[in-house]
C-alpha cells in the first residue's frame, strides 16, 4: 500500500511540473504516411469540435450567469423561430460536409493495397499471433514475453512498474523492412482478434474464415508495439504485437538466418532425448504454451480447462498416442500446436506432462514418435 | 363487473395491501415504483461490478481478480446497466408519468404492464446466477460476438434466455406505451400538444418493437449454433461471424437511442420549468427526435468499421453517422434557446439537466470523431470509446434519470427532498464522473485497448486517476439512496405544483399523486399544458 500512497503523493505534487507530453495525452503521429494523415484528420476534427464546444458552452454559460432569477431576470415569452432553426440545421451540416470530404479521400487512399512488395499474414490464435511471410515461406509465432508472463501472474510479487515493456513485449517480433509497401493480411484460427499497432495508423479485425487486407509503409526504423484489440477470451490482454522495422539489408539477413534455423530444426528430428533434457525443455514449452489454461500445477480450471495432473490421458500407456494427437491437432477449445512446435518440443512437453505433478509414468517420448504421429493422423 | 366498477367508484384511493398490492398490481404508479426500485437496485449491482473493474485497473499488475472473472465483470456490468438499470428506469418513469401527462387513468394494458415488470427479476436471476456457475459468467463482452461467446460454459443458455426475457419484457412495455398514448389521451390533447417526454417515449417504443426481435433472432441463432449444429456464424460451416455483428448492431444502435431518447424527453421537461419559459422549438424537437430514431437504423456498421467492410459501405455508414450530429445539434441548440432570456433557478433537477446537456454534448463530440471512419481505425475498441459511451450513457442517460427522480419525487412522495443534499449529490457526482471518464479519452488515444484486466505502465497514472474518480462516484450514489429514502419518509410538504415554473397535467393532481388519477378525463386548457 505504501507504494500506492507514494505514487499518489508524487502525482499530486509533480503533475503540474512534469511535461504533459510524457503522459501520452494524444494520439501518436505514427511512422507511416497514412498514420500521419490520420493524425492530421484527428486533430482537425478535435479542433473543430473544441471550437464548437467553446462557442456553444460559452453562450450557454453566459445565459446561465445572466438570465437567472436571482439576478432579477424576467422570462421572455418567445418559443419559436424558423430562421434560427434553419440556421442551426444548415451550419452543422456544412461543418460535417467539410469534415467528410477530407475523410473520404483519406479512406480511399487507405483502401489501396495494390503493388505491395511483401505480404505477411497475421493469424490471431488464443492468445498469440502467427505470422506467415507468404513470399519467403517463413512462419513465426509471437507470444507474450516470459518476463511479462511471470509478472502478470496474480500475486507474482513483482512490480510491473519495473518492467518497461510490460505486456507490450513478445518472444519473437515481426521483422519488416522500412520504406517498403507491406501488405498485412489478418485472419484468425479460433475467435475474432484484432491486429493493432498505433504507429501504423490502423487496426483491423482478424476473423476466423475470412481474410482482411491492409497496408503500411514504415518510414522510420524502430520497434513499434500494439495489442490485440478485440476481446478474445481470458488472454485478451496478453497478446501484444511487436513490429521491428529494419533496413532492407538487415531484413534480408534476418530472412536468411530464419531459413537456416528452419533447416536446423528439421535435422533435430533425429535427435534422441534424455529424460533430464526432456523435462527441462518440456517445462519451458509448458510454461509458454500450456500454463495459461492448464495452470502451473497441471490442475486446469474446473469446468473450463481439464486437469493434466492425474488425468487418464497423461497416465495410461495406451493413451500415449492420443496424448500426442491432442497436442498436435487440438480438440474443442484446445488449439492445435502441430504447426508451431517442433517435434523435439512436442516430444519434450509430452514427456514433461507425463512425469510432472506426480504423474510419474517414466514415459520418455522421442521426436521420432512425434513425426510418426504427425503422419498417422488423417484428421 | 358492474359491482366491481361501482366499488372502485366509491373509494378513489382504495388500494390492495401487502404482497398482493405489489405482486398483482395493475396500477401504473405502483408498477412505475417497482420499476424504479428495481432499476436502482440494478444500478448498484452493476455499479459494484464497475468498482471491481476499477479496483483491478487501479494499478498495473493483477491484484484482485483473474482475467476470466474480469471479463465476466465487464460483460455483466454492461448487460445489467443497460437492461437492468437504464431501460427499466426509463420504463418506470414512463409508467408513472405518461398517464399523468396525458390525462389517462392508467396504462392501456395494465395486466401486461404487471407481467412486463415481473419478468425482469427472473431474467436477472438467470443472468446473475451465472457468476456462480462452473466456468463463470458470460465473459465475451455484452455484444456476445461469436465465436468467442460460444466458448461460454454452463452460463451460455442462461445468458441467451435472460436476453430473450429482457426483450419480451421491453417489447410488452413498448406496446403498452404506444397503446396508451394513442388511445388514452384526454379529449382535446392532440399529439402535438403532448409533453416531449411522451413523444420521446412513443418514438423509443417503436425503436424497441423494431429492434428487440432482431436481437432475439441473433441470440437464438447463437443458441442453435452452440447446441443444434447450425453454422450461422461459423465460417467452417458456411456461415459468417461478422453476420452476427451486423444483426446485433442493427439492434444495438437503435438500443443506444432507446437509452438516450427518454433522457432527451426528461430534460425537455425540466429545462423549461426552471427557465420559466416554454420549450423552444417544440415541433422541431419532435421532428429531430424522429429523425434521430429513423437514422439510427442506418448507422449500425459504424460499430464495426474494422471488420473489413467494403469501402462503399464504410463511406455510407460514415456519412449516415455524421448526419446524426445534425438533429442532435438541433436539440442541444433548442435547449440552449429555452434557457436564453429565461428566469433561471438551479435546483437539483435543473443542475442535472444542464450537466446533461453539456456532458452529453461532449459525448456527442467524441461520437462525431468516432464516426469518421479512417480515424476510427485508431479509436476503435480503445478507452476512447469507453470514455465516449460513458459520457453519453452515464453523464447522459443516467444524469437525466437522476434529474427526473429529483424533479418528480415531490409528486410521487408528497414531500420535497433535501435540496442541500441534492446539490451536494449533484456536485460530487459531476466532478467524480468527469475525473472517472475524462482521462479515459487520453488512455484510448495513447493506445490502451478496452476490456483488458492489466496494462502497460505508461497507462498507470490516468488509470489511477480514473479509478479514484470511479470510487468517489460509487460512494456518492449512496447519498442518493439516502436522499430518496429520506424524502419518501418525510420532509417539507410538496404543493400540487411543486416547482414554480412547472406546467403540464401531472402538476394538476395533488402531491402525492392519489392511487387513482384522471378517472374522469381532465378538461384541457391550453395554459396548463407544457406545450400549449
Does residue A70 register a pLDDT over 70?
Answer: yes
The pLDDT assigned to A277 comes to 84
A24-69+80-111: CATH class: mainly alpha
Q: Chain A interface, mutation test: which of B57, B356, B375, B466, most A Cβ atoms within 10 Å?
A: B375
Strands (E), chain A: 118-125, 128-133, 138-142, 174-177, 181-188, 193-197, 202-206, 212-217, 222-228, 241-246
Return the CATH fold of A271-376.
Cytochrome Bc1 Complex; Chain D, domain 2 (1.10.760)
Q: Is B342 on the interface with A (CB under 8 A)?
A: yes
Interface of A with B in 12-41 (CB under 8 A): 23-28, 37-38, 41
Of A166, A202, A209, Cβ closest to residue B456: A166
Residue that the C-alpha cell 444524469 belongs to: B399
Of B284, B341, B462, Cβ closest to residue A67: B341
The pLDDT assigned to A18 comes to 42
Segment B467-493, tens digit of pLDDT: 999 999 999 999 999 999 999 998 899
Could you give the residue range(s) of every CATH 1.10.287.90 domain in chain A?
A: 24-69+80-111
- Verify whether the Cβ–Cβ distance A59 to B336 is below 8 Å: yes
In percent, the amount of chain B with pLDDT more than 70 equals 97
CA B471 – CA B464 distance, rounded (Å):
11
Interface of B with A in 411-440 (CB under 8 A): none
Could you confirm whether domain B30-528 is CATH 3.40.50.300?
Answer: no
CB atoms within 10 A of CB A172: 15
CA B88 – CA B258 distance, rounded (Å):
11
If pLDDT is split at 50, 70 and 90, which confidence band does B13 have? low
Task: Dig out the grid coordinates for B485 from the structure.
Answer: 429514502
Residue A242's φ and ψ, nearest 5 degrees, are: -125, 125
The pLDDT assigned to A17 comes to 40
Segment A248-301, tens digit of pLDDT: 999 999 999 988 888 887 777 777 888 888 888 888 888 888 887 888 888 887
Q: Which residues of B are catalytic?
A: 77, 106, 142, 169-170, 253, 255, 257, 268, 302-303, 328, 331, 450
A118-262: CATH class: mainly beta
Mean per-residue pLDDT of chain B: 93
Distance to chain A for B311, nearest Cα, Å? 7
Q: Is B192 on the interface with A (CB under 8 A)?
A: no
Name the pTM for this structure: 0.89
Of A64, A89, A210, Cβ closest to residue B235: A210
CA A279 – CA B168 distance, rounded (Å):
57
CA atoms within 13 A on the CB side of A292: 24
Interface of A with B in 297-326 (CB under 8 A): 301-304
Segment B82-134, tens digit of pLDDT: 999 999 999 999 999 999 999 999 999 999 999 999 999 999 999 999 999 98
Segment B428-464, tens digit of pLDDT: 999 999 999 999 999 999 999 999 999 999 999 999 9
Closest-CA residue to B323 (of A43, A42, A82, A97)? A97
Amino acid at each position: 500500500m505504501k507504494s500506492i500512497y507514494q505514487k499518489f503523493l508524487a502525482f499530486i505534487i509533480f503533475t503540474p511540473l512534469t511535461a504533459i507530453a510524457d503522459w501520452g495525452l494524444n494520439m501518436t503521429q505514427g511512422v507511416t504516411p497514412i498514420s500521419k494523415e490520420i493524425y492530421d484528420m484527428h486533430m482537425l476534427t478535435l479542433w473543430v469540435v473544441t471550437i464548437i464546444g467553446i462557442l456553444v458552452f460559452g453562450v450557454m454559460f453566459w445565459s446561465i450567469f445572466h438570465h437567472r432569477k436571482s439576478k432579477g431576470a424576467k422570462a421572455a415569452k418567445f418559443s419559436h423561430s424558423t430562421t434560427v432553426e434553419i440556421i442551426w440545421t444548415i451550419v452543422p451540416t456544412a461543418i460535417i460536409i467539410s469534415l467528410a470530404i477530407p475523410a473520404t479521400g483519406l479512406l480511399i487512399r487507405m483502401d489501396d493495397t495494390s503493388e505491395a512488395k511483401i505480404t505477411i499474414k497475421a493469424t490471431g490464435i488464443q492468445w498469440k499471433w502467427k505470422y506467415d511471410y507468404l513470399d519467403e515461406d517463413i512462419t513465426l509465432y509471437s507470444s507474450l514475453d516470459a518476463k511479462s508472463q511471470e509478472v502478470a501472474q496474480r500475486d507474482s510479487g513483482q512490480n510491473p512498474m519495473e518492467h518497461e515493456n510490460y505486456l507490450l513485449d513478445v518472444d519473437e517480433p515481426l521483422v519488416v523492412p522500412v520504406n517498403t509497401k507491406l501488405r498485412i493480411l489478418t485472419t484468425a484460427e479460433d475467435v475474432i482478434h484484432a491486429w493493432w499497432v498505433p504507429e501504423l495508423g490502423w487496426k483491423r479485425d482478424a476473423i476466423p474464415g475470412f481474410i482482411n487486407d491492409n497496408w503500411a509503409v514504415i518510414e522510420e526504423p524502430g520497434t513499434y508495439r500494439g495489442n490485440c484489440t478485440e476481446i478474445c477470451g481470458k488472454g485478451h490482454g496478453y497478446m501484444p504485437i511487436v513490429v521491428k522495422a529494419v533496413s532492407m539489408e538487415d531484413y534480408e539477413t534476418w530472412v536468411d538466418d530464419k531459413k537456416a534455423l528452419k533447416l536446423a530444426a528439421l535435422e533435430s528430428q533425429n535427435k534422441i532425448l534424455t529424460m533430464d533434457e526432456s523435462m527441462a525443455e518440456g517445462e519451458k514449452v509448458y510454461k509458454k504454451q500450456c500454463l495459461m489454461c492448464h495452470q502451473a500445477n497441471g490442475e486446469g480450471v474446473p469446468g473450463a480447462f481439464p486437469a493434466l495432473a492425474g488425468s487418464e490421458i497423461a497416465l495410461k500407456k495406451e493413451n500415449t498416442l492420443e496424448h500426442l494427437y491432442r497436442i498436435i491437432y487440438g480438440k474443442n477449445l484446445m488449439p492445435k500446436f502441430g504447426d508451431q512446435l517442433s517435434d523435439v518440443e512436442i516430444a519434450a512437453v509430452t514427456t514433461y506432462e507425463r512425469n510432472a505433478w506426480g504423474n510419474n509414468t517414466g514415459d520418455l517420448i522421442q521426436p521420432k514418435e512425434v513425426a510418426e504421429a504427425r503422419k498417422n493422423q488423417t484428421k | 363487473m358492474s359491482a366491481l366498477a361501482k366499488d372502485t367508484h366509491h373509494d378513489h384511493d382504495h388500494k390492495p395491501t401487502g404482497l398482493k398490492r405489489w405482486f398483482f398490481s395493475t396500477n401504473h404508479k405502483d408498477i412505475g415504483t417497482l420499476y424504479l426500485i428495481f432499476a436502482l437496485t440494478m444500478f448498484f449491482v452493476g455499479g459494484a461490478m464497475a468498482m471491481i473493474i476499477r479496483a483491478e485497473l487501479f494499478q498495473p499488475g493483477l491484484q484482485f481478480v483473474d482475467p476470466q472473472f474480469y471479463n465476466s465483470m465487464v460483460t455483466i456490468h454492461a448487460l445489467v446497466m443497460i437492461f437492468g438499470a437504464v431501460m427499466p428506469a426509463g420504463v418506470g418513469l414512463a409508467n408513472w408519468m405518461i398517464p399523468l401527462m396525458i390525462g389517462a387513468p392508467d396504462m392501456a394494458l395494465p395486466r401486461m404492464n404487471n407481467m412486463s415488470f415481473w419478468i425482469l427479476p427472473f431474467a436477472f436471476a438467470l443472468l446473475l446466477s451465472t457468476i456462480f456457475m462452473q466456468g463463470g459468467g458470460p465473459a465475451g463482452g455484452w455484444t456476445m460476438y461469436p465465436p468467442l461467446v460460444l466458448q461460454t460454459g454452463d452460463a451460455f443458455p442462461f445468458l441467451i434466455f435472460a436476453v430473450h426475457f429482457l426483450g419480451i419484457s421491453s417489447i410488452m412495455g413498448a406496446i403498452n406505451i404506444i397503446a396508451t398514448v394513442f388511445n388514452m389521451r384526454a379529449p382535446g390533447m392532440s399529439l402535438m400538444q403532448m409533453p416531449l417526454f411522451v413523444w420521446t417515449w412513443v418514438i423509443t417504443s417503436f425503436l424497441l418493437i423494431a429492434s428487440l426481435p432482431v436481437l432475439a433472432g441473433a441470440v437464438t441463432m447463437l443458441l442453435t449454433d452452440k447446441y443444434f449444429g447450425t453454422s450461422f456464424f461459423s465460417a467452417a460451416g458456411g456461415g459468417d461471424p461478422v453476420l452476427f455483428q451486423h444483426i446485433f448492431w442493427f439492434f444495438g444502435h437503435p438500443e443506444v437511442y432507446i437509452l438516450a431518447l427518454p433522457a432527451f424527453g426528461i430534460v425537455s421537461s425540466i429545462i423549461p420549468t426552471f427557465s420559466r419559459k416554454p420549450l423552444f422549438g417544440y415541433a422541431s424537437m419532435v421532428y429531430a427526435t424522429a429523425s434521430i430514431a429513423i437514422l439510427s437504423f442506418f448507422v449500425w456498421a459504424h460499430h464495426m468499421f474494422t471488420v473489413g467492410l467494403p469501402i462503399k459501405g464504410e463511406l455510407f455508414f460514415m456519412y449516415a453517422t455524421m448526419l446524426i450530429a445534425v438533429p442532435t445539434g438541433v436539440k442541444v441548440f433548442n435547449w440552449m434557446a429555452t434557457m436564453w432570456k429565461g428566469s433561471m433557478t438551479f435546483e437539483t433537477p435543473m443542475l442535472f439537466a444542464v450537466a446533461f446537456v453539456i456532458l452529453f454534448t461532449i459525448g456527442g463530440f467524441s461520437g462525431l470523431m468516432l464516426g469518421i471512419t479512417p480515424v476510427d481505425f485508431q479509436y476503435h475498441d480503445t478507452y476512447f470509446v469507453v470514455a465516449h459511451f460513458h459520457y453519453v450513457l452515464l453523464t447522459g442517460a443516467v444524469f437525466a434519470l437522476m434529474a427526473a427522480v429529483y424533479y418528480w419525487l415531490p409528486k410521487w412522495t408528497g414531500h420535497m427532498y433535501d435540496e442541500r443534499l441534492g446539490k451536494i449529490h449533484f456536485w460530487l457526482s459531476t466532478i467524480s464522473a468527469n475525473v472517472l471518464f475524462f482521462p479515459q479519452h487520453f488512455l484510448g488515444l495513447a493506445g490502451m485497448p478496452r476490456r483488458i484486466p492489466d496494462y502497460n505502465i505508461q497507462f498507470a497514472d490516468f488509470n489511477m486517476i480514473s479509478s479514484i474518480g470511479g470510487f468517489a462516484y460509487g460512494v456518492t450514489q449512496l447519498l442518493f439512496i439516502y436522499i430518496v429514502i429520506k424524502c419518501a419518509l418525510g420532509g417539507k410538504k410538496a404543493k400540487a405544483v411543486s416547482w414554480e415554473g412547472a406546467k403540464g397535467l401531472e402538476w394538476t393532481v395533488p402531491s402525492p399523486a392519489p392511487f387513482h388519477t384522471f378517472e374522469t378525463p381532465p378538461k384541457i386548457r391550453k395554459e396548463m399544458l407544457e406545450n400549449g
